[in-house]
Copies of this chain bind each other. A is one copy, B any other.
C-alpha cells in the first residue's frame, strides 16, 4: 500500500515539529514540507483513523505517536544485515548515524576472512551461524546486500530464522510466500533514468 510508504516521511517531519510539544500542524504545512499534496496527506492519515482537529490541524506529538504505533516503531527495532560489502556497509553506517528507531544488531558476511572484523560498533559474524543467531536475537527485519547468486538462499535462511520482512538490494527480484520482501535494484533505477532523460518527463516519486 502506497500510503504506508509515506508514513515514515510524515513521521520524520512530525518529530522535528514535536520538539515544541504543543505544536499543531496542518496538512497544508506537512504538504509543503514533504512535497506532497495536502489532500493526499489527509487521505493517508484518515485511512488509519481520525487524528486531526477540524479547524486546527494535527498535534505533532499526538500524530507522531499514532504513526509510530501504526508502523510498529514505538520501541527500537532490531535489524539484521546480510552482506558486509560496500553497499551493506554504507547502509549500516547510514542507519547507525541517521536513525535511532531502527538498529542493526547483527551483521553477516560469506567471506570467512572477515568474520570478527569490527564494523560500526558491530562484529561480522559467520553466515553458518546466521539462522541460530538471528533466531536467538528474535530479529524480524532483515536487509540483504549480497551478490545475485547468493540472494535466494539467504532469504530462505532468514525466513527459517523467523524474519518477517526483508529489504533486498541484490539485483534479483526476491519473492517469498511467507514474508514481505521489498526489492530495490539500484542499477535498474539508474538505467530507467536514462529513459526519462530522453523523454523530458518532469517530476518523480517516493
Contacts and interface: CB of A to CB of B under 8 A. Distances in A.
Interface of A: 1, 4-5, 7-9, 11-12, 34-36, 70-73, 77, 79, 85-87, 89-91, 93-95, 98-99, 101-102, 140-141, 143, 164-168, 171, 173-198, 200-206
Contacts of A173: 9, 34-36, 206
| A contact patch SS | mixed
Given A181-B204, A206-B183, A195 B95 contact: no
A155 to B, nearest CB: 11
Nearest to A5: B192
| Copies assembled | 2
Contacts of A182: 189, 192-193, 196, 204-206
A185 B195 CA distance: 21
Contacts of A181: 203-204
